[in-house]
Amino acid sequence: TEADLISLIPGDIRDVEASINLGEGQVFTPTDIEQALIRLSVRMDKGAAYLDAVERQHSKAREVYDSACAKAMHRIVGEYEEQNRRPPAEDIRKARVHIATSTEREQLRRLDVLLSQTKRRIHHLSRQGEVARSLGASVRASMSAQPGWTP
């Protein structure tokens, strides 16, 4: 299931509910924002490394699937030629290839979903970074308005 695939994504990347860990309803300091950005940066680095690994797996699975399709088509056509029979119509050959490569196709489909989910979660982490930077700018502006504050 999709939930099983999502569970393969490492927790610190998968956990989209994890905020930038600043808490709610509290006053933030520039240090709070800085620490949250550092934590987020680490999560994004891990996410990028994981995405690279998934993309490599996906590429290999695509090669395996394409090769399995070609071999199945060659085998199907060859079986007919050995019997001096005309190969079946293209649609029938495609259907037989589809059946013969079901395992490879399923692996590729699973990696398609995993790749998509991983990209979505990394995008979410990136958006959290934008929010944290905005919060940081707001905190700095607020603090700079305080008498005697120096950065």
Q: From the CA atom positions of the chain, what is the Rg in Å?
A: 26
What span, in angstroms and rounded, lies between the C-alpha atoms of 139 and 14? 29
Whose structure tokens read 């308005």?
Answer: 145
What span, in angstroms and rounded, lies between the C-alpha atoms of 18 and 82? 61
What span, in angstroms and rounded, lies between the C-alpha atoms of 114 and 50? 11
Residue 28 or 76, more confident: 76
CA angle 118, 119, 124 (to 5 degrees): 95
Work out the number of other CB atoms within 10 angstroms of the CB of residue 110. 17
What span, in angstroms and rounded, lies between the C-alpha atoms of 126 and 72? 43
User: What's residue 31's pLDDT?
Assistant: 79
Residue 146 or 64, more confident: 64
Q: Are 80 and 86 in contact (CB under 8 A)?
A: yes
Residue 85 has pLDDT above 80, yes or no: yes
pTM of the model: 0.62
